[in-house]
Structure 1
């Protein structure tokens, strides 16, 4: 088979057509996915996640921690303190003050709801909230690991493997 070197016009048209097609497909692909790159920045999910993380840290390290006011033991929780926190959170008169101490209610227009779930090893989960449930809104969530103190034990035996996962949801 012999190739003619003098007539390249057919090859040039095909090259041009393939090049333009690839360019247009790339152009359409880029503009189709640009809105998807910016969609995470349209919601306030980062703000809610930070609020949940801050509330979880304050809960585990201060509010639910065992010890006196100046000598708290972070990540070591007391059953009686958990029960009192559940009572305070379910009571409408103390719930607002409690959420304000966690940094969830500000003087402005931002008001957050709170749900705390304590999943203790080998027991059913304890769900604490003020009667509100998250609907279809954005929910921020943070988890912390802690130990539940056994009142019967002392010293190192006070923490006999009763680990718990504390989940804090804010919306």
Structure 2
């Protein structure tokens, strides 16, 4: 019996190859369409981490290189009072404002034992959007009495 369908195996393979190539192209193209809408949560988390490290190890440090999380209580009070008084200069100091992008922050310090809020500065947290957060456990030494207390420092950036 003679086959009169006119389809050969090579024609079938070429058709499948063209179909699969076009499907792969469509999927790779549509994935690139949504790239501008992806979140920047990694970026703001890195900024929050950089700011918390700078604050703890340079601005509020008690000067002990063996205990980087030991903070001077006077410097802590000064930082929060200064930031509450002049938020814009703090934004500029940490490099969070430029002609292209601007980030906002909220920094809180609370007691670990009681959970009470000790200090707070910055803007109110937004209800939507990506917020990067870094939390650090720090020891704050009162320079007058020498007492040390453990506190939770939270830095949030958006």
Q: Which bracket does the TM-score occupy, shorter chain normalised?
A: 0.5 to 0.7
Structure 1 residue runs without a partner (length 5+): 1-30
Q: Pick from 33, 54, 60: which aligns with 2:56?
A: 60
- Alpha-carbon separation, structure 2, partners of 1:110 and 1:51: 13
**Which SS does the other structure have where 1:165 is aligned?**
strand
Seen in structure 2, the aligned counterparts of structure 1 residues 45 and 131 have a Cα distance that, compared at 3 Å, is closer
Residue 140 of structure 1 and its aligned partner are, at CA, apart by 0.3
Q: Which residue of 2 aligns with 1:170?
A: 157
Find runs of 4+ consecutive structure 1 residues off by over 3 angstroms: none
Q: Pick from 88, 111, 120: which aligns with 2:111?
A: 120
Q: Which residue of 1 aligns with 2:134?
A: 142
Q: CA-to-partner distance for each residue in 1:44-82, whole Å, 9 max, x for gaps? A: 1111111111111111111121249xx896311122222
- Alpha-carbon separation, structure 2, partners of 1:63 and 1:130: 17
- Alpha-carbon separation, structure 2, partners of 1:86 and 1:45: 25
Seen in structure 2, the aligned counterparts of structure 1 residues 74 and 103 have a Cα distance that, compared at 3 Å, is farther
2:77 aligned with 1:83: yes
Structure 2 residue runs without a partner (length 5+): 1-26
TM-score relative to the length of structure 2: 0.66
- Alpha-carbon separation, structure 1, partners of 2:134 and 2:96: 14
| Number of aligned residue pairs | 127
**Which SS does the other structure have where 2:69 is aligned?**
strand
- Alpha-carbon separation, structure 1, partners of 2:77 and 2:128: 29
User: Is the Cα contact below 8 Å between 1:59 and 1:102 reproduced in 2?
Assistant: no
TM-score relative to the length of structure 1: 0.61
User: Is the Cα contact below 8 Å between 1:117 and 1:127 reproduced in 2?
Assistant: yes
User: Is the Cα contact below 8 Å between 1:52 and 1:142 reproduced in 2?
Assistant: yes
Over the aligned positions, Cα root-mean-square deviation in angstroms equals 3.0
